[in-house]
Amino acid sequence: MDVKLNGEFSDNCVLIRNSHKQYIKNAKPLPAAFSPDGGMSTDWDKYTTPEESLARIGLTTKINGELKNTDFFNLFGLKVGDIKMIEGVNSIDFTPIFHNPQIYGKPNNPSHSDVHYVDVELRLKFSEIAFPINVDRSAVSLIISQS
Q: Please, which residue, 26 or 138, has the CB nearer to other proteins? A: 26
What residue spans of the chain are helical by DSSP H? 50-58, 80-84, 120-129, 137-146
Instruction: Report the site for other proteins in 47-76 (rule: CB under 8 A).
Output: 62-64, 68-69, 72-73
Shortest Å, Cβ 125 to other proteins: 9
| Residue 37 sits in the site that holds other proteins (CB under 8 A) | yes
Shortest Å, Cβ 138 to other proteins: 21
For 103-107, the CB contacts below 8 A with 24+ separation are 104/61, 105/59, 105/60, 105/61, 105/65, 105/67, 106/60, 106/61, 107/56, 107/59, 107/60, 107/147
> What's the CA gap between 17 and 130, in Å, rounded?
9
Shortest Å, Cβ 8 to other proteins: 29
Shortest Å, Cβ 33 to other proteins: 8
Kindly report the backbone phi and psi dihedral angles of residue 104, in degrees, each rounded to the nearest multiple of 5, phi listed first. -60, 130
| Residue 128 sits in the site that holds other proteins (CB under 8 A) | yes
Q: Please, which residue, 9 or 114, has the CB nearer to other proteins? A: 114
| Residue 137 sits in the site that holds other proteins (CB under 8 A) | no
Residues binding other proteins (CB under 8 A) = 20, 22-23, 25, 30-32, 35, 37, 62-64, 68-69, 72-73, 119-121, 123-124, 127-128
